[in-house]
Amino acid sequence: MFSRIVLSLDGSDISEQAIPITISLAKALSLPVTLVEVANKRSSSAIDPTRLLPVPGIQKNLEGEAANYLAETANSFRDQGVQSVREALRSGDVAGEIMKEADEGESALIVMATHGRAGVSRWTLGSVCDRIIRHSESPVLAIRAHSEEGAESPPSDVTRLVVPLDGSELGEQILPVVTDLARSLNVPVALIQVGEVADLNKGYWPDDADDARKLDEDAKAYLEHQAARLSALGVISVEVVMLHGDKADKILSFAAEKTGTLLAMTTHGRSGVARWALGGVADRVIRHSECPTLVIRAKIAEEKHG
Asked if 142 contacts 228 with a C-beta cutoff of 8 angstroms, the reply is no
| Residue at 155 is within a domain | no
User: Which of 79, 113, 143 is the last residue in one of the domains?
Assistant: 143
Asked if 189 contacts 178 with a C-beta cutoff of 8 angstroms, the reply is yes
Residue 14 has pLDDT above 90, yes or no: no
Domain encompassing residue 201: 160-305
What end-to-end distance do the CA atoms of the chain give, in Å?
A: 23
Is the same domain home to 136 and 235?
no
| Residue at 154 is within a domain | no
| Residue at 150 is within a domain | no
Least confident range from 135-149, 196-210, 214-228, 289-303: namely: 196-210
Q: State pTM to two decimals.
A: 0.85
How many CB atoms within 10 Å of residue 185?
19
Q: How confident is the model at residue 226 (pLDDT cuts 50, 70, 90)?
A: very high
- 117-138: b (≥16 Cβ within 10 Å) or e: bbeeeebbbbbbbbbbbbebeb
User: Which of 118, 143, 168 is the last residue in one of the domains?
Assistant: 143
Asked if 135 contacts 299 with a C-beta cutoff of 8 angstroms, the reply is no
Q: Please give the helix or strand (H or E) that residue 195 lies within, else none.
A: strand 189-195
Taking the CA of residue 209 as centre, how many other CA atoms within 13 Å lie in the half-sphere pointing to its CB? 0
Q: What percent of the chain has pLDDT over 90?
A: 53
CATH number for position 38:
3.40.50.620
Residue 63 has pLDDT above 60, yes or no: yes
Is the same domain home to 190 and 301?
yes
Asked if 154 contacts 115 with a C-beta cutoff of 8 angstroms, the reply is no
Is the same domain home to 13 and 132?
yes
Residue 60 has pLDDT above 70, yes or no: no
Q: How confident is the model at residue 245 (pLDDT cuts 50, 70, 90)?
A: confident
